[in-house]
């Protein structure tokens, strides 16, 4: 559903950046999905990596401490 507004000359203006209530219109869908795709690619670069050893070690240490072992702090 397209929101249409009229400019001062009374012409229909489909690409206005405010809707008829004066609220900012959301980005064009194609722009939104282009941004989203880049963001997810950026995010996934990190999220796809294998879990570094330091975290595996950390959880081992935390578990050891819990069970009263000699975990180094």
Partner 1 sequence: MQVSDEFRDGLIEAIPSLRAFAFSLIGRPDRADDLVQETLTKAWAHHHSFTPGTKLRAWLYTILRNEFYSQMRKKGREVEDVDGAYSRNLAVHPEQQGHVDMGDMNRALNTLPADQREALILVAASGFSYEEAAEICEVAVGTIKSRVNRARKRLAEVMGVEGEAEYGPDATAEAAIAHTALHK
Q: Applying CB under 8 A, which residues contact partner 1? A: 14-17, 24-28, 30-32, 34-36, 38-49, 51-52, 54-55, 58-59, 62-63, 66-67
Q: Please state the closest distance from residue 61 (CB atom) to partner 1, in A.
A: 9
Query: What is the four-CA torsion angle of 54, 56, 62, 68, rounded to 10 degrees?
Result: -120
6 vs 38 by CB, closer to partner 1: 38
Exposed/middle/buried for 13, CB within 10 Å: 0-12, 13-18, 19+? middle
Q: Please state the closest distance from residue 21 (CB atom) to partner 1, in A.
A: 15
9 vs 47 by CB, closer to partner 1: 47
């Amino acid at each position: 559903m397209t929101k249409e507004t009229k400019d001062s000359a009374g012409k229909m203006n489909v690409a206005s950046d405010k809707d008829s209530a004066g609220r900012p219109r959301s980005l064009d869908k194609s722009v939104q999905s282009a941004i989203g795709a880049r963001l997810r690619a950026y995010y996934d670069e990190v999220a796809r990596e294998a879990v570094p050893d330091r975290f595996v070690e950390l959880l081992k240490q935390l578990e050891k401490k819990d069970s009263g072992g000699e975990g180094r702090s």
